[in-house]
Amino acid sequence: MEQSFAGDKKKGQSILGPIEKRFINYWTPKIPLWITSPFLTLATIPISIFIIAFSFLAQGNIHWLWGVSFMIFLQWLTDSFDGAIGRHRNSGLARWGYYMDHFLDYIFLCSILIGYAILLPDNFKYLLFFILALFGAFMVNAYLRFAATNEFQIAYLGIGPTEVRIIFIIVNTLLIFFGKTYVAWALPYVLVFSLLGLCVAVYHNSRYIWEMDMKENERLED
């Protein structure tokens, strides 16, 4: 029996997940019909462009980072409702939504780190490269897990995309109030904690998939 596609069903609970879910469930039926799921998914493209543009302008006036933070919030808003609207209206774009939504999530992440690369001193830019590599590894880990289990898990240790967006907004706020020099020192710590989190996620997934294989082998033997 063919297993149904589950890319639109996210597994794993983040810290803010219950609050976020209630918010989405309440507002989804109230969104106007002209706002469609593909429209919200593709909104990440102009949002990413604005993030890079605002980061460039922040070189001259750091308060442009408020614009970057607003774009991050706007991307959370569109990303939260694109799938919810599709399921509520039964639009039948689960596979397209899975593909395009998560590809554009990577573009969104790149735009933020490109913005920091524009803004921060040159000696910190190599750290941004490693942070991008690690965050990209989290995405690859989630997609490979989905391919192996048909379960799409994007939250680990209570941290999911929403919490990561909030971290970026906090970083922007600190940059505005305390400047580049006083915040850039935190990048190595972000790198270390991201690496530890990735190790935990990979270990958890590896063990889970191993157990699935063992159970399947036992079933075949019986």
For the chain, domains (ranges, CATH) are: 10-221 (1.20.120.1760)
pLDDT at 2 over 70: no
Residue pair 89/28 in contact (Cβ under 8 Å)? The answer is: no
Q: Over 80: is that where the pLDDT of 46 sits?
A: yes
Of the candidates 13, 38, 50, the residue with the CA atom closest to the CA atom of residue 94: 38
For residue 1, what pLDDT is reported?
A: 44
Confidence of residue 156 (pLDDT cuts 50, 70, 90): confident
**Residue 165, C-beta contacts closer than 8 angstroms, at least 6 positions apart:** 72, 73, 75, 76
Higher pLDDT, residue 5 or 24: 24
Q: Identify the weakest region by mean pLDDT among 3-17, 44-58, 105-119.
A: 3-17
Q: Of the given ranges (1-10, 87-96, 165-174), which has the lowest mean pLDDT?
A: 1-10
d(CA 80, CA 27): 11
